[in-house]
Amino acid sequence: SGAAILERQRGRESAARTYARSFPIVPARAQGMTIEDTDGRRYLDCLSGAGTLALGHNHPVVLEAIQRTVSSGAPLHVLDLATPEKDEFTDALFATLPGDFADKARIHFCGPAGTDAVEAALKLMQTATGRRGVLGFTGAYHGMTAGALAASGGVGTKTPVPGIAADVTRLPYPYSYRCPFGVGGEGGAQISADYVERLLDDPNGGVVPPAAMILEAVQGEGGAVPAPDAWLREMRRITAEREIPLIVDEVQTGVGRTGAFWAVEHSGIVPDAMVMSKAIGGSLPLAVIVYHEDYNGWLPGAHTGTFRGNTLAMATGTATLRYVSREGLVERAAAVGARMTERLTALRSELPVIGDVRGRGLMIGVELVDAEAEPDACGARPFAPQLAAQVRDACLERGLIVELGGRFDSTVRLLPPLIITDEQVEAVLDRLTDAIAAVTA
Ligand code: PMP
C-alpha cells in the first residue's frame, strides 16, 4: 500500500530527501496535469517535475516517440556518437533559437542534468577567456554540483560551497518587490545595473577577473522573479563592452514556459551561451549548452562524460520541441499565464498575506508575507515561510501540488504544464485561494 511504501522509503533514503518530504504521496499513474496515487486520490500537478513537463505527464507524442524508438532497434546508449535521433534533435532545437543565433551556434551535449550543463558552460568560458572568476546573482539557482552551486545565490537550504565560491562575485538581482537598494521597479533595476558596471570598473572592487556572467532571465527557485527587460539589455551591454561572455541559464525558463520559446526573447538579447535542460528532454534527462562558435575552444576530449547522448531523450525531446511550436503552446502559456497572474493579483485585497504576485507566462510566484507587520520602504512585508508551508500542505489536501521557492521558501510557485486546460486553470485558482483562506482564517 501507499502508506507502507512511504514508511519504507522514509527509513531508507537520505536525510536530504526533498520533494518526498513536501508531498507524502505515492504516485501510481499520471496523465496530463493529473497524478493519481496508489490510494486512488487525484492531484492537479502544478510542479510538473520542477518545470520539466511542458506537455504534462505521459503526453501521447512523448509516449509515441518512446515506443517508435524502442521498436526501431536504435541503440539506447552510444556515448556521444552521431545518431539520426541526435541529428533530428539538433535540427529541432536550432530551429527554436533566438535571432540569428543558430547561424553561428555550436551545441555540446552534457548531461544528464541541468547542473552538468551549467558546469560545462562555466568551464568552457574559463577555457575560452583564460580567466577564472564568475559573476552571479543573489537569489540565483544553477544546480547542486560544486561550480553551479557556487555560482548560485543562496536560496533556502541550497547554500554555496565555500572554496569555489571565492571566485564568484555575487551581484544584486533586480527583485523589485524586495528591492536591494530601497527603490522598487525599474528604478531599482537601473541602480542594480549601475552598481554592476561600477564594481566591474573599480580596480579595488575585488572582482576576480570574470570568465563569464551567468543569470536567469526569470529566477525560478529564487521565487519566479522576472528581471526587467531593460535590465537584461544593460547586462548584455555591460558584458559585451568588457568582453565578458554572458551565459543565460534557460534550464527552467525554456521551451515556452515564460510565454516566449526562450525567456531571453522578451528582452531581445542574444547571449553568448544558453544552458538548457528540463523540458528539452520531454520528460527524460537531457542537458546541453548552445554557444557562439567564437567560444569553441575546447580540445577534443576536454569535456566528456558517459551519459551524453541518450537516444530516447533525444526522441522525446524532438517530439516535445516540435509539438510546443506546432500547437501554439508558447502563445497559450503567455495568455493563460497573464490570466492567472491577473486573477491572483486581484486576490491581494481579500487575502493580505499575498504580498506579491509575479512571474512571466506559466512561471508564477505568489509571495506570502506577514500581513500584520509593518511594510518596509518599498512596501514589502516580512517573509512568511511557516505560513507558506501550511498553504502548500493545505493545497495538497485539496488535491493540488504546488512547491515553494524564494529566498526563504515563502513563495508559492506555480509551474503548470503548457497544456493546462481552462477548466484546470479554474480548479487550480479555486483550490489555492481556498487553501490560503483556510490557513489564514
Ligand atoms: N538551473 C536552473 C535555472 C534550475 O532551475 C535548475 C533546477 N531547478 C538547475 C539549473 C539545475 O538542474 P538539475 O536539477 O537538473 O541539475
Q: What's the confidence (pLDDT) of residue 399?
A: 98
CA 281 to centroid of ligand 1, rounded, Å: 13
8-state DSSP, 383? B
Query: Which three cell numbers mark 59?
Result: 503526453
Other beta carbons within 10 angstroms of residue 316's beta carbon come to: 28
Over residues 131-144, the pLDDT tens digits come to: 999 999 999 999 99
Report residue 16 as a C-alpha cell. 536530504
Q: State the DSSP string of 239-307.
A: HHHTTPPEEEE-TTTTTTTTSSSSGGGGTT---SEEEE-GGGGTTS--EEEEEEGGG--PPTTSS--SS
Tens of pLDDT, residues 3-35: 999 999 999 999 999 999 999 999 999 999 999
Ligand 1, residue 220: give the atom nearest the CA. Answer: 5
Residue ranges per structural domain of the chain: 2-59+328-440, 62-326
Cα separation, 39 vs 48, in Å, equals 21
Best CA proximity match to 123, nearest among 86, 171, 167, 80: 167
> Closest Cα to atom 7, ligand 1: which residue?
143
User: What's the CA-to-centroid distance between 395 and ligand 1, angstroms?
Assistant: 24
Query: pLDDT band at 251, cuts 50/70/90?
Result: very high
Work out the average pLDDT over 116-130: 97
Residue nearest atom 13 of ligand 1, based on CA coordinates: 114
Angle at 296 between CA 324 and CA 293, to 5 degrees: 55
Note if the pTM is more than 0.80: yes
Phi, psi torsion values for 415, nearest 5 degrees: -130, 60
Instruction: Kindly report the CATH number that applies to the domain delimited by 62-326.
Output: 3.40.640.10
Q: How many CB atoms are closer than 10 A to CB 315?
A: 29
Q: How far apart are the first and last CA of the chain?
A: 34
- Average of per-residue pLDDT values in the chain: 96
Contact (CB, 8 A) for 391 and 343: no
Task: For domain 2-59+328-440, give the CATH number.
Answer: 3.90.1150.10
Q: How confident is the model at residue 161 (pLDDT cuts 50, 70, 90)?
A: confident
**Model confidence at 231: pLDDT above 80:** yes
Per-residue pLDDT tens digits for 307-362: 998 999 999 999 999 999 999 999 999 999 999 999 999 999 999 999 999 999 99
* Euclidean distance between CA atoms 283 and 141, whole angstroms: 21
CA 114–ligand 1 middle distance (angstroms)? 5
Q: What is the pLDDT of residue 276?
A: 98
For 120-142, b where at least 16 C-beta lie within 10 A, e where not — what string?
bbbbbbbbbbebebbbbbbbbbb
pLDDT over 80 (residue 418): yes
Atom 5 (ligand 1) nearest CA: 252
